[in-house]
Structure 1
């Protein structure tokens, strides 16, 4: 057990939180993360409608009595009103929001007694989240997969600033994949880490095995930022498709219609479900270079905590050469 403000807030054993994973953050992965002592998050965007999400929430409840939450990306793909209502109706205790401003949903979430956490790529937005009543914030560094924001500030610079400026607990995200990263985040003042890419490459993740293997064989240079032309930068795994998209944006001013063949939902579905790596794009953080296996979630937690403890025990023995 590692006790921090976040483990106490969420009543979890370890300060390790699963990131929002489009199409992957479903009951098998979520329940495994929570059962292992972390916080699993149902990813609302993975479902066609509220009913589907609520049915999967029920599967998590049947699989574990440990706390879990729902991740809701606002203004990314479609309206999230029904999914917010679904989280409330399902009496989920924790909701993570990301993307656009969560203010339209804050009153109803807080009135339902839900602990709200907002994912922010900057201190400016983190401060707004605190004023809105969020009980914690995730600070997402430039290294992170998915949407790291328009800046290029890393977790190393963002986390300590946020810890200094905010009164609520800070969760570090972006580049964290192992126990050394967890220790580093806590040393910077964070109360937990959120990992997306690392949990995508586990046995319980529904990601196709071919794609998992591609992640394992990748290094820290195998990601690229796309969708910059529409001011929605997204860090994804390098592939034939993502590099074509990168070149298109670098050399032209493409319309949204020209971007759609690369980023539409059908292409992503083929990638995730059928392993067609050169179709669609998939989020990946720079921490992908630290991933060298495909463990069960339980085994991954054992690896992370063992790695964390080993490095923690070494620190008192480190001294400057005389």
Structure 2
């Protein structure tokens, strides 16, 4: 099993099947460029930026730091209705961005336009039925996000161990495994389950090139696999976040009954946790984090991280574990 050259590396023009998640606020030029320079594929987040012009400047910054492929995450949510998505798409095309990761709502409105202009489209989803729909709409690849992931895992509560092979069994296009990946063990497991590569958010957030405040990074390094929880369950809009006073207050509000979206947003809204990422206030918001925090214990550079993942994967492959097949 060679974790380097396969359908996803050929599709995206990268060296290794290791993708950096397009996390809001976190996915900036410095991080995306560092991942690309190390042989993976980095993303910047469109809706981090208030305007298409601001996104254009971020794209230009990636190009100033790297000549490697990179992508733009385009998360389509009703709560982002005021954002200039048409302008984002126009800027992506005009700037010659090679890859877009769509997420959230149905991407049909933009897939045809992006593909007609030579942009590869990866759609991130949380269910096999959504992955098949994205394939039917013309997505070039799908990223399937298991229950373990940071942010929105959907409402089916299917972990990656089941979701990845279930998607691989039905999809014809390349598949990325997302949610719960941090090392070479995860990469090899994803490949064994039928994926073509891995997409990592929380792990890349905890690197030297990430702009997340050091205090937040330290809080996540100290976290175990039990230190995240889901808010928004009562509204059918679950989001996995770090366990702190803000997220626990949101849970108590939901348990009391009658909590509205506005009630929860006052606690868990993106504006609060983005401010916390910048200020370092570990109790300042319900910031997204995956269960995989329990597997992360240091802050390497992106180059060090990817090299380590590949080394560990190679060591696993070198074990050459085989089983005697019983006679029929």
Q: TM-score, normalised by structure 1?
A: 0.96
Structure 2 partner of 1:25 = 27
Structure 2 counterpart of 1:311: 316
- Aligned pair in 2 of structure 1 residues 318, 211: CA closer, same or farther (>3 Å)? farther
Deviations 1:135-155 (A, max 9, x none): 110111111111111111111
Q: What is the match of residue 289 of structure 2?
A: 284
For residues 255-274 of structure 1, the C-alpha deviation after alignment (integer angstroms, 9 at most, x for no partner) is: 22212221234312321011
Q: Could you list the runs of 5+ residues in structure 2 that have no partner in the other structure?
A: none
Q: Which runs of 4+ in 1 moved over 6 A?
A: 317-320
Corresponding residue number in structure 1 for 2:198: 193
Distance 2:151 2:121 in 1: 20
Q: Are 1:46 and 2:48 an aligned pair?
A: yes
Contact 1:97/1:118, CA 8 A, preserved across alignment: yes
1:219-260 CA distance string (max 9 Å, x none): 111110112222211111111111111121122121222122
Question: Partner of 1:177 in structure 2?
Answer: 182
Segments of structure 1 that go 5 or more residues without pairing to the other structure are: none
> Counterpart of 2:94?
89
Counterparts of 1:146 and 1:109, CA distance in 2: 25
CA-CA distance at 1:30 after TM superposition: 0.5
Q: Is the 1:262–1:279 Cα contact (8 Å) retained in structure 2?
A: no
Match of 1:15 in 2: 17
Q: Distance in 2 between matches of 1:316 and 1:206?
A: 40
Any idea what SS the aligned residue of 1:248 has?
Answer: helix
Provide the rounded CA distance (Å) in 2 between the counterparts of 1:316 and 1:234: 38
Contact 2:274–2:287 at 8 Å: present in 1 too?
no
Correspondence 1:272 to 2:277: yes
Query: Secondary structure of the residue that 1:168 maps to in structure 2?
Result: coil
Q: Is the Cα–Cα contact under 8 Å of residues 101 and 124 in structure 2 kept in the other structure? A: yes
Distance 1:314 1:57 in 2: 42
Partner of 2:163: 158
Counterpart secondary structure, 2:122 = strand
Cα shift at 1:318: 8.2
| Cα distance, 1:286 vs structure 2 | 1.0
Please state how far the C-alpha of 1:81 moved relative to its aligned partner.
Answer: 2.5
- Measure how far apart 1:317 and its partner are: 7.2
When structure 1 is superposed on structure 2, of 255-264 and 103-112 the one drifting more is 255-264
Partners of 1:118 and 1:158 lie apart in 2 by 15
**In structure 1, what is the Cα distance between the partners aligned to 2:255 and 2:297?**
31
